[in-house]
Structure 1
Amino acid sequence: MLFRLILLFTVTPVVELLLLLELAKITSVWSTIGLVLVTGVLGAYLAKSQGRLIITKIRMEMNEGRMPGDQLLNGLCVLVGGALLLTPGIITDILGFTLVIPGSREIFKGIVKRIISKRLQDGSINIHYRRW
């Protein structure tokens, strides 16, 4: 796991930097900087608006006495997607927008649900709770 994190935080920025430099060669430095700024601002706006919507849905489900599991996964996707959109780069922007936009988010939610289900079944995740 540590090796994967080291790869993630070293290889990803280098690849993103190389892509941004190539884009600057093809277009111009200013258009590349503009693209990074626009995706950052647009991403922050989308993450904020989606986050507020998800919080409202979580409150509604809890008021109805239901566990907001699906909305919590939506919130996780938007949180990660927002962080990726604030990170300069083309790959992180594409992945970030995919996580923030509601329709495309379903793909990642399905993957997370399968991982959690598998780990619950094989016993690598244990849930402890206390009854009041």
Structure 2
Amino acid sequence: MRDVLAVLAGGLVGTGLRLGLDSVLPHEGFAVSTLVANTVGALALGMLVARLWDRVPSWLRAGLGAGLLGSFTTFSALAVALVSLGAAGDWMPALAYLVATMALGLGAAWLGLRIGRPRATAPLDLVDE
């Protein structure tokens, strides 16, 4: 029950942050606010996973991950942005938006893991050499 309440509380905060971002960065044509939210969310989750995940209780992981960042970043908003961009029949802007979202999201997650890792430990190996 504690996990559920943490997700609800985190979701309330994340949704409020997303609404604020959407009001500052409007959705005309290219959905900049969705791109920013998903990139920032990937960075934040990477930092949290690297720094806290193994040291905090499950309810806090649920509240921060699924609740706060899950409601701040949204796949459904990405899907709507892609369909809206391609609605005119030219899918190249939608493809560019998808590539930008994936590249920025993966890059931000990688950077978050690098920034968030404790300094006293060995470097984080993301690729087997």
TM-score by length of 1: 0.31
TM-score by length of 2: 0.31
Structure scoring higher RCO (CA < 8 A, sep ≥ 6) equals: 2
More helix by share: 1
